[in-house]
Amino acid sequence: MASIYKRGNTWTANIFVIKDGKRRRKTKSGFKTKAQAKGWANEMEVAKQNNTLTLRSDMLFADFYDNWFVTFKAPTITKATSRWYLYVSKSIRNYFPKTKIEDVTRINFQSFLNSFGKTHGVNTARKMRTLIKQVAVAAIADGYISKDFTYRTNITGQEPKSADLKFLEEDDMKALADYISSKPLTIRAVTDMMIITALQSGARYAEIAGLEWPDVNFEKGFIRIETTWDQFYKEFKPTKTKSSIRNIDMPSSYMDELYDWHQLHPDTTFVFQGKNDIPPTSNAANKQLRRDLDDIGAIKIITFHGLRHTHASWLLAHDVDLHYVSERLGHSNTTITLNTYSHLLKTRRNSEIDKSISLLSNL
């Protein structure tokens, strides 16, 4: 039953509801007329009957998110995945430091997305909204809010770089391999060995960093990927997918060089062991790659992961079977390979153009 009364020059309405076994009150003041107060009270009564009535809370948006994460997500996800959730938590706390969960609206959440999109990629922004939407749904289920503030909000952000920028063309690929090979093993950087391994195998940074000497089969000429290295927590973890567990056949010239590398580092646990007896970080590998590419005057400056793209693109451009390339990369299926490497190297593209024109000319 609603309680409506006049306080000074305005009207106030109270709604009572049983919540968690206790009698709770929802109040709103400032109505200019009794009719307005009664109208609001009627709306709240309908919401109460539909179980959509929310009660005022002092819970901050950031605190609700953190509580939700600790209770529902942290026990079920990996440490690596949790870093993304913690990043979202920090973003929310920075933008909504004192905003209560019930005060988050579509307008101020859209403003948050707009601000985030100015300095981040559109894919990152999309992932951010998807995760926060889960929080909004949880807040509705727990009675903190009645509407989804992420509903029909728009993603903004910087578009991802062109696929052409993610891999080296054949000339630069060969120049990079030759340049690293010209450095004597006795003085060659560990990160250079990781770079040449990525170029020859197409393996990911974490897979290469996690290699131990028992994973190298010198007799049969392959490296075995069974685990990965988590550079943040400095521990081993499972591969990205079950399909990522694989043997990667390597050129004999590479295996011969790796054998000599082993002779120079017979007591290391990791194949590529840096300071503090652990593998170099991805940041260190990226810095070394940039130096190498600068030294050879490469047209493109790519990241360490771009070496994986270079490896796959080069094989596909030279008509290596798609299924084999997919298995070599550790993809779950060929669809992933096709979607990722739909582009081809420039020389292959020009060749396909000439071939197509020639065929069409003979119709």
Residue 249 lies in a domain: yes
For residue 11, the SS3 value is strand
Q: What per-residue confidence (pLDDT) applies to 292?
A: 96
Enumerate long-range contacts of 265-273, CB under 8 Å, 24 or more apart. Answer: 268/213, 269/212, 269/213, 270/209, 270/210, 270/211, 270/212, 270/229, 271/211, 271/212, 271/213, 271/215, 271/216, 272/190, 272/191, 272/193, 272/194, 272/197, 272/208, 272/209, 272/211, 273/190
E-only strand ranges, the chain: 3-7, 10-19, 22-31, 216-217, 222-225, 227-230, 235-238, 246-249
Number of domains in the chain: 3
Q: Determine the Cα–Cα distance for residues 271 and 254; give it in Å rounded to an integer.
A: 14
106 and 178 part of one domain: no
Q: Determine the Cα–Cα distance for residues 341 and 346; give it in Å rounded to an integer.
A: 13
Question: Which CATH number do you get for residue 125?
Answer: 1.10.150.130
Residue 150 lies in a domain: no
194 and 299 part of one domain: yes
Identify which of 175, 209, 178, 204 has the alpha carbon closest to the alpha carbon of residue 191: 209
Residue 156 lies in a domain: no
Each residue's pLDDT tens digit in the chain (363 positions)?
678 878 888 888 877 666 656 666 667 778 888 888 888 778 877 776 766 666 556 789 999 999 999 999 988 887 777 888 999 999 999 999 999 988 899 999 999 999 999 988 888 899 999 999 999 999 888 778 878 999 999 998 887 766 556 889 889 999 999 999 999 999 999 999 999 999 999 999 999 999 999 999 999 999 999 999 999 999 999 998 899 999 999 999 999 999 999 999 999 999 999 988 999 999 999 999 999 999 999 888 899 999 999 999 899 888 888 899 999 999 988 888 877 776 554 556 666 677 777 777 777
Residue 153 lies in a domain: no
Q: 234: which 2 tokens?
A: 């400095």
Q: 170: which 2 tokens?
A: 């054949």
Residue 286 lies in a domain: yes
180 and 108 part of one domain: no
120 and 192 part of one domain: no
Residue 334 exposure: Cα atoms within 13 Å on the Cβ side: 6
312-331, pLDDT tens digit by residue? Answer: 989 988 888 889 999 999 99
Q: What per-residue confidence (pLDDT) applies to 113?
A: 95
Q: Which domain holds residue 44?
A: 3-49
Q: Which residues pair with 6 in a beta bridge?
A: 11
119 and 195 part of one domain: no
Residue 254 lies in a domain: yes
337 and 279 part of one domain: yes
Question: Which CATH number do you get for residue 180?
Answer: 1.10.443.10
70 and 44 part of one domain: no
Taking all residues of the chain, what is their mean pLDDT, rounded to a whole number?
88
| pTM for this predicted structure | 0.66
Q: What per-residue confidence (pLDDT) applies to 133?
A: 96
Residue 116 lies in a domain: yes
Q: Determine the Cα–Cα distance for residues 342 and 316; give it in Å rounded to an integer.
A: 10
